[in-house]
A and B are shown apart, each in its own frame.
Chain A
Amino acid sequence: MAGMDIKQFISHNLIACFLVTFATFFSSILVAQMDSAIGSYFWFPLGAIIFSYLLFDTKVLLGTWVGSVVSGVLFLSAWKGLGGIQFGLIESLLGSLAPLIAIAIMKGFNLSDFFNAEKIDFFHVSFLVILSALLNSLFKFFLMFNYAESQPDPIDFMSTYLVGDMIGGMVFIYIGTKVFPLFSPKNKSI
C-alpha cells in the first residue's frame, strides 16, 4: 500500500512537472518570445500549476517546482543576466508557492473549496487565477527588485506579469477543464 502511495506520488509529480514544462514551452516558443525580466502577455505555467494543484492537491509542489526550474533552464536561458540558477530556484519556488498560498487563503477565509457537487466551479477557479496572479506578480516583483542583477522598468514588469498570468492562467484552466475530460470521461474530479 505504501509502495502504491509512493508510486502515485511520483507519477502525480511527474505529470505536474510535464504540465508546467509543456506550458512554459508553449508560452515561450509557440506564442510569444519570453523575457524573464519583463514577462509575457500569455504566460500559461501559472495555469498549469493551479491545474496541477486542483487535480492532485498540494503534494505536487515538488513536481511544479522542478517543472518550473527545468523549463527555466531549457527555455528561459537559465535566468541569464538576472542572477543565474540560484535566482531561478527561488523565483520558481515562489511561482509554485503563490497558487498554493492563494488556495490556502481562499479555503482559510471560507471563500471556496473550488468544487461544487464534484464539478469544478469555474467562477471560483477564475478568482483563484486572479489572486494567484496578484500574489505571483508581487512575490516576483519583490524578488526582482531586491536581488536581480539587472532591474526592468517596474511598471512594465508588473503589468506584463499580472496580465500575462491572468490571461495565460484563464486560458490554460479553460482548455484543461474543457478538453481534459474528453480524454478521461470517468474522471469526475473536473
Chain B
Amino acid sequence: MDSYKLLFTNNLIAFLAIFLASVAMKYLSGFDAEIGSYFYLPIGAKILVFLLFGRQVLPGVMASCIFCGVVLFGSWGGNFAWGAVGALMGALAPLISIGVMQWFKVANFSNLKNIDFRHVLFLIFFTAIIHALSRFVIYAKSEVFNISPIDFLSHYLVGDMIGGIVVIWTVLKLLPLFALTPKLNKV
C-alpha cells in the first residue's frame, strides 16, 4: 500500500513540476506549437523528475504534458490529436535520451549523489536534439501544422537547451542555497 502511495505522490509531484514550468514559460516567453519557444522550461522539469524518480513517473509526465497542452495552449491551436502525439513524444524524449546514454554506458544516472553535472548538461543537449527532431517529424507528417523547417528546429533546439539548463541549474544549484540557510528559530 505504501509503495502505491509513494508512486502516486511521485507522479503528482512530476505533474505539478511540469505544470508550473509550463505556466512560467507561458508568462515569460509565450508558446506556439508551430514555432516553439526560446525558453522551453518544461523540458528541464521533465528531465529533472525522471532523474529524481526514474521512469515510474512517466504517467504523471504524460498526463501533465496533455493537460498543459489543453488548458494552457488551447489544445495546440485546435489540433488536439496531433498535438497530443507531439506532447507524448515530448514526455518520452528525456526517457529515451537517458536510456540511450545508459545503454551505451557513457553515463549512469542511477545514483543521484554521484552524478557528474556535466553528464546532466549533456543529457539536456541530447534530449533537446531528440525532442526537436521527433516533434519536427510528427508535426511535419501531420500536415495540420503550418511549420517552417528552419524556424521550427532552431526554436525548439535553442529553447530546449536554454529551458533545460535554466530549470536544472536553478533547482540543483540555487535551491540548495535556500534549503541550507539556517532557520531563525534554530539560531
Pick the residue among A110, A127, A146 that contacts B101 (CB under 8 A). A127
* Contact of B106 (CB < 8 Å), options: A106, A158, A159: A106
Q: Is A183 at the interface (CB under 8 A from chain B)? A: no
Q: Is A115 an interface residue (CB 8 A)?
A: no
Query: Does A160 sit within 8 A of B, measured CB to CB?
Result: no
Q: Are B150 and A123 in contact (CB under 8 A)?
A: no
Q: Are B133 and A145 in contact (CB under 8 A)?
A: no
Q: Are B104 and A127 in contact (CB under 8 A)?
A: yes
**A105 and B149 form a contact (CB under 8 A):** no
Residue B113 is within 8 A (CB to CB) of chain A in the complex = no
Place the interface of chain A in its size category.
Answer: 20 to 34
Decide yes or no whether A84 CB sits under 8 A from chain B.
Answer: no
Q: Give bound CA distance, A34 to B22, whole Å.
A: 44
B101 contacts across to A, CB distance below 8 A: 127
Residue B105 interfacial (CB < 8 Å): yes
Looking at the complex, which one of A108, A130, A138, A159 makes contact with B137 (CB distance below 8 Å)?
A: A159
Interface residues of A in 73-123 (CB under 8 A from B): 105-106, 108-112, 121, 123
Contact of A145 among B119, B141, B149 (CB under 8 A): B149
With beta carbons under 8 angstroms apart, the residue of A108, A127, A158 that contacts B136 is: A158
Total residue contacts A-B, CB cutoff 8 A: 55
Query: Quick one: given A109-B119, A127-B101, are A142 and B150 in contact (CB under 8 Å)?
Result: yes
Decide yes or no: A127 and B106 within 8 Å by CB, A155-B137, A158-B133, A158-B137 being known contacts: yes
A36 CB-CB contact with B under 8 Å: no
Q: Which of B67-124 contact A (CB under 8 A)?
A: 100-101, 104-107, 116, 118-119, 121-122
Does any Cβ of A come within 8 Å of B58's Cβ? no
**Which residue of the partner chain B has the closest CB to A106?**
B106
Query: CB of A134 within 8 A of chain B?
Result: yes
How far is B129's CA from A141's CA once the two chains are assembled, in angstroms? 13
Contacts of B62 in A (CB 8 A): none
Contact B150 A146, beta carbon cutoff 8 Å: yes
Within 8 A of A (CB), among B125-153: 125-126, 129, 133, 136-137, 140-141, 149-150, 153
State whether B119 touches A111 (Cβ < 8 A): yes
CB proximity of A11 to chain B, nearest CB, Å:
32
Interface range on chain B: under 10, 10 to 19, 20 to 34, or 35 or more? 20 to 34
Minimum CB–CB distance from A170 to chain B (whole Å) comes to 12
Q: A124 interface residue, CB < 8 Å from B?
A: yes
Query: CB-nearest residue of chain A relative to B141?
Result: A155
Chain A residue at minimal CB-CB distance from B150:
A145
Beyond A111-B107, A126-B104, A141-B153, whether A105 also contacts B133 by CB under 8 A is no
Known: A134-B129, A141-B149. A123 touches B105 (CB 8 A): yes
Smallest distance from the beta carbon of B2 to chain A beta carbons, Å?
A: 37
Known: A134-B129, A138-B129, A158-B136. A124 touches B119 (CB 8 A): no
Chain A contacts to B: CB under 8 angstroms: 105-106, 108-112, 121, 123-124, 126-127, 130-131, 134, 138, 141-142, 145-146, 154-155, 158-159, 162
The 5 closest A-B pairs by CB, nearest first: A127-B104, A109-B122, A111-B106, A154-B149, A109-B118
Q: Interface residues, chain B, CB within 8 Å of chain A?
A: 100-101, 104-107, 116, 118-119, 121-122, 125-126, 129, 133, 136-137, 140-141, 149-150, 153-154, 157
26 residue pairs of the A-B complex, CB under 8 angstroms, read: A105-B125, A109-B118, A109-B121, A110-B116, A110-B118, A111-B107, A111-B119, A111-B122, A112-B106, A121-B105, A123-B105, A124-B104, A124-B105, A131-B126, A134-B133, A138-B129, A142-B150, A142-B153, A142-B154, A145-B150, A146-B150, A154-B136, A154-B140, A154-B149, A155-B141, A159-B137
